Amino acid sequence: MHKFIKSLLLIATTFSIVEPGIASAADKLETAPTQFLETNGVKFSYRALGPKTGTPLVFLQHFTGTMDAWDPAVVNAFAKTRPVVVFNNRGVGATNGVVADNVAQMTTDGYAFIQALGYKKVDLLGFSLGGFVAQELAAQHPELIHKVILAGTTHQGGGNNLMKVLNEAFSRANAPDPRDYLFFSQSDAGKKAGAEFLSRVYARTKDRDPESGKDIADAHGKALIVWTSTPDPEYKTLTAIQQPVLVVTGSNDTMLDTAGSITLYKHIKNAQLVLYPDSNHGSIFQYHDSFVNTANYFLSH
């Protein structure tokens, strides 16, 4: 039970590429400039904010998500004390290339991007589909990955309810954004948190990423469904992860079942688990202050 309890910033002109670096602490996700870095045949779009020193925290995004789908309340809070990088994988947002339709390619791309930034050691925050990539990066590249946060995600073979919950979310009348249903509980408190989240993610009004279309949804859907449907009865990936891991989930994650997060906790050697009450897939956004405080302590100790 003890385990349970337990460089100046160079802004790119239209025809230039920004030298990899960290923006000033005054920058926010809503205003941080979009930068570009080309490696491995892909021109990655990314934003960097926070101090120049410390272990960078690299964010790995969910199904169809772009940089503008991250919650500023989470990203900006982390950037007060540490370097933070958000980016779009191939074919997503302002990143070029054909959209990856498998977790292995996403992992290869993520590794190439981090390497191109010049970092020797990073922490990861993988949310949902990004959590699959984070697990693979941690298992395959222990020399690069220091600590890992796995939020609203599951293990290989852990199953998914993607199509069911997407159909439910899009079938509702007067529901312009499905995330209020997919990410949050439908209690009064959950609905309020969902509305507040949506107001924050739409706060950036200039230089926003283009919205993801059917090609991205199809590719990401295939990657998510195949990975969560491919059995790993010996939990080879999880047992290969030796880094400290913080697993975070909601009490009722309807997309990637909460039980999958508990399995992550049980089979990763050095894992801690946080379960938030009355919450769904996006518990880290509903309980953003508590989550950042807990995660900062985990990353710093």
At 193 the pLDDT is: 98
Beta-bridge partner residues of 140: none
pTM: 0.91
What is the structure's pLDDT at 174?
79
Res 93: pLDDT: 97
CA distance 131 to 119: 20
Instruction: Specify the pLDDT at position 14.
Output: 25
Contact 182, 281 (CB under 8 A): yes
For the beta sheet containing 271-276, the strands, ordered from the edge strand earlier in sequence to the opposite edge, are: 35-39, 42-49, 84-87, 57-60, 122-127, 145-151, 245-250, 271-276
pLDDT of res. 20: 43
Hunting for tokens 């998510």 — which residue is that? 224
Segments in the chain below pLDDT 70:
1-26
